[in-house]
Chains A and B, each alone.
Chain A
Amino acid sequence: MALFEYTGLDWKIAFTAVTIIILLAAEVYALFVPQGKRFSWVSLITAGLIVAALWLPNAILRTVLLDVAALVLVAFVWGQEKHAGKLFLAAVLIGSVLVAAGMTLGGLFIGGTAQPAGVLGKVVICLLLIGFAIKLAAIPFSFWLAPVSEKSTAMTAVLVICLLDMAEFGELASLRVEAPWVFSSIKWVWIALALLSMFGGAFLALSQTNVRRMLAYSSIDDIGYLVLGLAAGTVGGVLGAVIGALSHSLCKFLLFGSVGVAENDLKHPLTTADRGLSSRNPVAGAAFIVGALGMIGIPPFLGFLGRWRLYFSGLEVGGVGIVIAMAAATALAILYYVRIIHKVWLGETAEGTLSAPKRFIWIEVLFIVIIILIVVAGLFPAILPGLGGR
């Protein structure tokens, strides 16, 4: 059974649309805020490979294309900062090798759906779990994401997190539907991994002073919710996870985009020492706030449609205890986002930053369009392909 038949949401169309939106937005963004040499080509190639991978029926080709896209991004990140590039390369290589080995041994590249017998089955599950955990930067395999987010340009981080990471997550979601045994036989290990990412990501995000590192850990936190939806395996859980992934992409664009604008204005990395940036960049401030609230899953943003389903899947799979744990992790997420919003964006401007900033109208238009999209999709989910009424 395909993901579309299982959930009713056409992931291919939906994620293609999100990829195109983010690609266009990133290209426009890069016209005004420098994103590194040849960014236009890198983003075009990466997005092209990801979209192609989405539509290819062959699992081997899909995996290869996504890995090539990852390597393109590795090279680009490496050019910006060597250490981050090294870590990213390590993650891509180890993750890809483990996933490819698991898929091969499990017969998943050739359409096999049954679990291999005996220890081999467990080895396959082990390879896939660790491989995807590295690719998605789930804790304890999240070593690469924070350096990449911190050291690369804002839109490079967007390509990595919003497109590559979420495309890989789509692969995992497809696997959940096509080979459910990968999850069902060790459901509690997946759930433990999910909870570890949720709480570990949240606590680490709360302790960061660098805003981009905080955003990286918030992604790790969010990955926990998405993985939990897949671990539950119910229709609602998987649907919630894929909607959550779409929302994650759009919201993270707003978050990194607004941080990039502020950094371009201040000429230094954004940290909790900065103050009152909304006075200088009100639209960027609004974009950050909406992105943060969308990530938390507050209605009426798109993230809510995913988040309540994820809570429900938590309730189904683990009872009230799991859902309370999820709510507690979300409370931590509110705390770390609110901390940045109120320290960095709102309130009085810090001394020495009173000069009029350079504002980029087209970037502001982009932010506004994506904010509207997130709200409209939250209120009228029927615009998501195949989802109408479900």
Chain B
Amino acid sequence: MSELGPLSSRDLIIQATYLIASVFFILGLRSLTKPTQARLGMQQAAMGMLFAVIGTLLNAHIVTYQWIIIGLVVGAIIGYPMAMKVPMTAMPQFIAFSHAFGAIAATLVGVVEYRHAFTMDMGGNMPGMSNGVAAAIGFEVLFGALTVTGSFMAFGKLQELITGRPITFPGQNAFNITLIAVAFLSLGVLIYNPGTAWAFYTVLALGLFLGVSMVLPIGGGDMPVVISLLNSYAGLAAAATGFAIGNNVLIIAGALEGAGGFILSIIMSKAMNRSFANIIFGAFGSAPSGTKKDGGPAREPKTITAEDAATQLAYAGSVVIIPGYGMAVAQAQHTCRELHELIEKKGGKVSYAIHPVAGRMPGHLNVILSEAGIDYGALLTDVDDANRVLQTADVAVIVGANDIVNPDAEDDTSSPLYGMPIFRPWTAKVSFVIKRGKGTGFSGVENPLFTKDNTLMIYGDGKGVIGNLVKEIKALDEGH
């Protein structure tokens, strides 16, 4: 698709649809800056995609349509029920899966293009390939393959098909770095001499292998960063495809996704106060025990009954709920809305403190609470804002969250969480911690919040406990 000669009117139409698609994509992303405009904006972006697909069907290189049409139909048949049925709690797995699919497409296009360039056609010609295109194809299959297996690994960890704990072995980092070096060496050979088929397939194979070996040592708690990084890689693979086949809309869309994933990765690492390198090579939480502070005898956390907790909630002027992924696991969000409405009916104000890394992907808890019908005006997504509200709050309720309320992040320089911005529920008059049992969180780190003087534990399943609170508050009303 070299565009050096004069454009035919057919090419002109195709390019026009691509331009329209590009503009709609950018406008769609811009609409996401305001929740009120977002839906319409993204519907327009979908229209843009439709234009681009229709435009592509006019491409003069296409000789048969049957496989295209069957493929589109099959894709729609797979995609539609997937998107309509997936629960909001499973969103990270879904996104990982979707990344993998997009990356498979990008990788396969790379393989087809490469084979095409070095296969004798009927006239006995071999089109060959310039060094520039070879570089693009090399990056395309490297990033594509890495995203495919990396996303499937992330999917497996999120779906708990594989353990969420980091999987490590001695010399792992050296091993990975060697793999990366060999991959780039092969890429160099491919660019220098595009006809070197072994170099191309080595890049492809190492890409696939790297996806697995790089996600293996990353723990479940770090998944928001991994998903963001894979988002970025998927974008880069798409952009490289654009370079390889000379298609600007692919380059633009890929660059947009690459930028989005990159920004989210930075935000996530900042929210954990850790560098990329630390997350990728650190195998966080692999050695949780044995690092306990030696500060006096261990204290037992205090508990409170649902009845007493309900009384305090019913007469609270301001309640801040701090949800973590545990809330989503327990499916407690709908019961939580009931509790929220009851407290509001009694004149209290309820807000939610949502940490940037709460959940398994960026912004995950916001989606889960919105699905439960909670007004997004009640969601405090800024850590500093939430801490300001907590200072004047009567009750803080922590549901299925652990690391994001761990005071060690501020006090204990030896803690793996040290430096991470956290919520301070202990500044509220009292805080209730709803927790399944006495164990540590996903990251495997002890939490001294639980033994603070104004912290009271309510052990049990999140949904059950909140259900009891709702029942008790209702009983309180009937008693009067």
Partners in one complex: no
Identify the B interface with A (CB < 8 A).
Answer: none
Residues of A within 8 A of B (CB): none
